[in-house]
Amino acid sequence: MVRAHNPQARTREPTPWKLQRCRIVHPENESLIDDGLAVYFRAPYSYTTHPTIELHIHSGRALIAALLSSLSRIPSLRPAESGEFTRQALLAGRLDLTQVEGLHDLIEADTEVQRIQALGTAGGETRAQYDSLRSQIIHCLAQVEALIDFGEGEDIEEGVYDRAKAEASTLLSQIQGHLADSRKGELVRSGIKMAIFGPPNAGKSSLFNYLANRPASIVTPIPGTTRDVLELTLDIGGLPVVVADTAGLRRTDDVVESIGVERGTDAVKNADFSVCVLPLSEVLSSDGSTIALPKDVQELITPHTYFLLNKADLVSNPLPTSNLVIDGHPDTAGRVWTASLATGEGTQAFVQGLAGALMSQLNINGPSAQSQEHHAPLVTRERHRVHLESACRFLKAFLALPPEDVVLGAEELRYAAQALGRVTGDIGVEDVLDAVFRDFCIGK
Ligand SMILES: Nc1nc2c(ncn2[C@@H]2O[C@H](COP(=O)(O)OP(=O)(O)O)[C@@H](O)[C@H]2O)c(=O)[nH]1
Ligand SMILES: [Mg+2]
């Protein structure tokens, strides 16, 4: 369907990987469709590894429709299904399953930290780590199989079995380390859950609206205004955060409000971290040094609670935050900020500080650290976690076997390698393919 001007060129293979201007004409009647650009990718150096022609045409609905309809006149052509190009790339081994997932995450990324993580995974960083772990297990397995075939002391040097065990044990702790990474990869991919809580009238909904940059939650001077949990996914310093505004914590006879308080309490307990908003003027001790926590708030404080002491405008000359102590919680340094959501003072510093604290808690390099070396996390989906956990179980089973059970040991190592192969799609790929490609856009 793409024909060059020079009639002799019709029979020649186009120059590969060179963008060329050409007339794009109808395959049957040769009527002009557009004056565009075309590039030919010679196999296997294309996205799918198959020979590929890419047409660059002017935009416009009628133009695209005319081109697609003329392409469909060529008997061997049909429109691609969603994710079909990527599926071909996967089946040809050009991408592995983690890269395909990374590509999907890249297309879906809403925030900078998500984009950076997905870019690393799509580019093969995660694949390289899985391949390395798997080849180390296979190295162990090779030693154990050599023992089965030849027996220690005769053809094989002494200590091979012990060495294989030492290697397996190092691998096991490496994988366990990845599994204990505070679900960082999964949180960045699907959003970190943060609940705002505190006593009524502290400014929780004002904070929610400030973060959302719009009046998403109703703010009034009447305590008990917010009754249900409100949720929004927001970008906080590049991190995707699912923020929940909750009803103020207090005992109340109002049935609706007390259900709201119960729901709010659950939201705080289920969140990955929370922000406790307190009205500074009401919780500050008379000497101005200590913050007294209201009773209903106390039981929800954890090491993952951050504090915003709001309404600083109502306190004359408040002490610097670093000198304030939260009563009963001497370990809150770096987790307390003072601000006024009414005047805006201190609010930016709070958001920046919160994003920084979350980044360091999750051990994430922020967008500003982009040039530094970083490793894509090994676990960005439950699927990865399941297979890594089963690899750990097989490695442990191998380590628990006595040397005389060397044949069983080899079997356990084989299973461990297979478990990792399932993450990258080298093994058992068919059953996950449909799930992975379902959400892909057409074509890509
Ligand atoms: N003076 C002052 N008033 C504030 C500040 N932040 C919020 N308020 C007011 O406090 C009241 C309660 O705010 P709201 O966000 O609804 O509190 P919530 O009950 O914790 O959700 C409203 O009248 C707000 O305008 C602040 O920093 N200073
Ligand atoms: Mg409210």
369 domain-assigned: no
State residue 180's pLDDT score.
Answer: 86
367 domain-assigned: no
272 and 340 co-located in one domain: yes
State residue 4's pLDDT score.
Answer: 35
235 and 339 co-located in one domain: yes
258 and 397 co-located in one domain: no
Among candidate residues 130, 132, 160, the one with its CA nearest the CA of residue 410:
160
* Cα distance between residue 38 and residue 282, in whole Å: 69
258 and 285 co-located in one domain: yes
368 domain-assigned: no
372 domain-assigned: no
Place of tokens 């006879």: 253
Residues with pLDDT less than 70, the chain: 1-11, 151-157, 318-319, 365-375, 428-444
Domain C-terminal end among 45, 76, 107: 76
Check if 260 has its Cβ closer than 6 Å to any atom of ligand 1: no
How far does the centroid of ligand 1 lie from the alpha carbon of residue 235, in Å? Answer: 23
CATH number at residue 64: 3.30.1360.120
106 and 170 co-located in one domain: yes
207 and 293 co-located in one domain: yes
Cα 183 to Cα 155, 190, 321, 357, 363: the distances in Å are 46, 11, 31, 16, 11
Check if 315 has its Cβ closer than 6 Å to any atom of ligand 1: no
317 and 176 co-located in one domain: no
CATH number at residue 281: 3.40.50.300
CATH number at residue 159: 1.20.120.430
State residue 415's pLDDT score.
Answer: 95
State residue 371's pLDDT score.
Answer: 44
* Cα distance between residue 6 and residue 18, in whole Å: 17
Could you identify the atom of ligand 1 that is nearest to the CA of residue 200?
Answer: 19
Could you identify the atom of ligand 1 that is nearest to the CA of residue 224?
Answer: 19
Check if 338 has its Cβ closer than 6 Å to any atom of ligand 1: no
Q: Residue 161 in 3-state DSSP?
A: helix
State residue 1's pLDDT score.
Answer: 34
- Here the tokens at position 198 are 């505190």
The closest ligand to the CA of 230 turns out to be 2
160 and 140 co-located in one domain: yes
Name the residue at shortest CA distance from atom 23 of ligand 1. Answer: 221
Lateral strand order in the sheet of 52-56: 20-25, 32-41, 52-56
398 and 321 co-located in one domain: no
Report the alpha-carbon angle 334-343-191, nearest 5: 50
Q: 355: domain range?
A: 187-362
218 domain-assigned: yes
Check if 203 has its Cβ closer than 6 Å to any atom of ligand 1: yes
Check if 4 has its Cβ closer than 6 Å to any atom of ligand 1: no
208 and 313 co-located in one domain: yes
89 domain-assigned: no
Q: Residue 411 in 3-state DSSP?
A: helix
* 125-150 helix and 112-122 helix, angle to the nearest 10 degrees: 40
In eight-state DSSP terms, residue 363 is: T
State residue 6's pLDDT score.
Answer: 44
Amino acid (1-letter code) at residue 46: S
Among candidate residues 93, 91, 116, the one with its CA nearest the CA of residue 105:
116
220 domain-assigned: yes
The closest ligand to the CA of 340 turns out to be 1
Pairing of the two strands 20-25 and 52-56: unpaired
Check if 340 has its Cβ closer than 6 Å to any atom of ligand 1: yes
Check if 99 has its Cβ closer than 6 Å to any atom of ligand 1: no
Domain C-terminal end among 334, 362, 390: 362
174 and 202 co-located in one domain: no
125 domain-assigned: yes
The closest ligand to the CA of 206 turns out to be 1
Looking at the structure of the chain, the number of domains it has is 3
* Cα distance between residue 318 and residue 339, in whole Å: 10
Among candidate residues 98, 96, 103, the one with its CA nearest the CA of residue 119:
103
State residue 320's pLDDT score.
Answer: 73
Q: What residues are paired with 194 via a beta bridge?
A: 243, 273
Domain C-terminal end among 17, 45, 76: 76
* 430-437 helix and 97-108 helix, angle to the nearest 10 degrees: 10
Check if 314 has its Cβ closer than 6 Å to any atom of ligand 1: yes
286 and 265 co-located in one domain: yes
